[in-house]
Amino acid sequence: MDMIDKIGVIGAGQMGSGIAQVGAAHGHDVVFLDISQERVDAGIAMISTQTEKLVSKGRMTADERDALLGRIKGTVDYADFADSDLVIEAATENEEIKRTIFKTLVPHLKPDAIIATNTSSISITRLAATTDRPEQFIGMHFMNPVPVMKLVEIIRGIATSDATYQVINRLSGDLGKTTAVAEDFPAFIVNRILLPMINEAVYTLYEGVGSVEGIDTAMKLGANHPMGPLELADFIGLDTCLSIMNVLYDGLADSKYRPCPLLVKYVEAGWLGRKAGRGFYDYSGDTPVPTR
């Protein structure tokens, strides 16, 4: 396959919605699937809200927004991927869930369709092996928020063909993204560097070296980071941070990747960050307040 026209997206959360929005914004018809109509509707509502903001800021016309939304079809039926050239899986960062999705998806695809996963840490080779087309399987890791962030990490599994890589690399450019090619090792490039930094920030809090506010202020003003590491952890989701640290710890067997016990405790408490209303900050008021 030389060109990607129709794109499927699995997962109507923040990442999947962003991928669907970017695909539709660049002229692709998008089929957008989740496990319930309520989730699909919530994902489309998220895209509608984001594009409305662009219209209000003059970055998009109302006609362009309407055309973009018109290119997105929500569904709960995998059969609607029958004519997709590429299906991008953007479900939760859980290997068993992803394996189940691929087994369900494969019977509905045309023979030359490509499968991409937006996983931020899981082995591409291992996920590809659950499909009937490991040579047409690739990692396409978008950054959050997808419409704003310019990077896509491309990760080839051991069986990924050159042709598949070339098509996905070209598509990423067509979507306005810059690519970085990563080897298929746990957490790839960005999260191999970023998540241990966040984990170390949590250890710094756990050991009483600094407060939430002190740590974030220090890294914003001392290292010129746009967000402090604990603020960023809340934005990513503490469950996702923990999941990636566990992939690093299990996959590389190095104690430096051991998740901080405080991170584990927050996740056990359901304090998952912004999406839960509470993490290292409490988001119930007008201004986030540190919880520690």
pLDDT at 2: 77
pLDDT at 3: 86
Q: Catalytic residue positions?
A: 120, 141, 153, 191
CB 128 within 8 A of CB 140: no
Task: Using the predicted structure, report yes or no on whether residue 79 has a pLDDT greater than 90.
Answer: yes
Task: Using the predicted structure, report yes or no on whether residue 197 has a pLDDT greater than 80.
Answer: yes
* Per-residue CA distances from 45 to 21, 38, 70 (Å): 11, 10, 13
pLDDT at 21: 98
Q: Which two tokens stand for residue 208?
A: 């009483």
pTM score of the predicted model: 0.91
Task: Using the predicted structure, report yes or no on whether residue 1 has a pLDDT greater than 90.
Answer: no
Task: Go through the domains of the chain in sequence order and give each one's CATH number.
Answer: 7-182 (3.40.50.720), 191-290 (1.10.1040.10)
Cβ neighbors of 101 (< 8 A, separation 6 or more) are: 10, 89, 91
CA distance 124 to 129: 9
The 10s digit of each residue's pLDDT in 115-131 is: 999 999 899 999 999 99
* Average of per-residue pLDDT across 252-276: 97
* Average of per-residue pLDDT across 242-263: 95
Any idea what the Cα angle at residue 54 is, between residues 6 and 33, rounded to 5°?
A: 35
Amino acid (one-letter) located at 155: I
* Average of per-residue pLDDT across 99-120: 97
* Average of per-residue pLDDT across 136-146: 96
> Whole-number mean pLDDT of the chain?
96
